[in-house]
Amino acid sequence: MDKEQRVAAYGVAIQDSRVLLTRIARTDVIGETGLWMLPGGGVEHGEHPEESVTRELAEETGYTVRVDRLLHAGAEHRQLDFPGLSVDWHNVYLTYAVTVTGGGLRDELDGSTGTPTWFPLDDLPAMLPTSRAILDRALADG
């Protein structure tokens, strides 16, 4: 079994009692196609996680954002099974509260996510369990 460790940064953008989510589009990257998740992604070598979250939100949603504060640091460890490949997956992540400052909503081009959408906080779609847990924690912390 292959082992993979990833450091990632995600953004929680809440505006008018709605949260910005992206839909998982590629199973070869995440393994959970069709579910929704917080926008964000991998921290590149030498990149600060705050830079990562602003870059990833721009790539995945078309928005520019301001990082307001660190909400949570966490980790997820699970097995991902793909056809012909099992991966021991360890995701270390930082979650930031962000505010949209510009840009315009659009799909990511050739990415792992698509269809960025604002959802009412009281009517959320089926989400990646880790994203749902992060969002629930962010809402509880205010």
Say what the pLDDT of residue 83 is: 79
> What is the count of structural domains for the chain?
1
If one compares 13 and 33, the residue with the highest pLDDT of the two is 13
pLDDT at 130: 85
For residues 13 and 118, give the distance between their C-alpha atoms in angstroms, rounded to a whole number: 9
Per 3-state DSSP, the chain is made up of helix, strand and coil in percentages (nearest 5) of: 20, 50, 30
pLDDT per residue as tens digits for the range 20-46: 999 987 554 455 567 899 999 999 999
pLDDT in tens, 52-103: 999 999 999 999 999 999 999 999 898 877 778 888 889 899 999 999 999 9
Report the CATH number at residue 80: 3.90.79.10
What pTM was estimated for this model as a whole? Answer: 0.87
pLDDT of residue 80: 78
Domain that holds residue 70: 2-141
pLDDT score recorded for residue 70: 95
Higher pLDDT, 141 or 32: 141
Q: Biggest alpha carbon distance in the chain? A: 45
In this predicted structure, the answer to whether residue 128 has a pLDDT above a threshold of 90 is no
The confidence score (pLDDT) of residue 52 equals 97
Q: Are 122 and 139 a contacting pair, CB within 8 Å?
A: no
| Residue among 43, 74, 56 at smallest CA distance from 13 | 56
What pLDDT, on the 0 to 100 scale, is given for residue 26?
Answer: 56
Phi, psi of 56 (to 5 degrees): -65, -40
Distance CA 21, CA 24 (A): 10
Quote the pLDDT of residue 89.
Answer: 82
Range 106-112 average pLDDT: 80
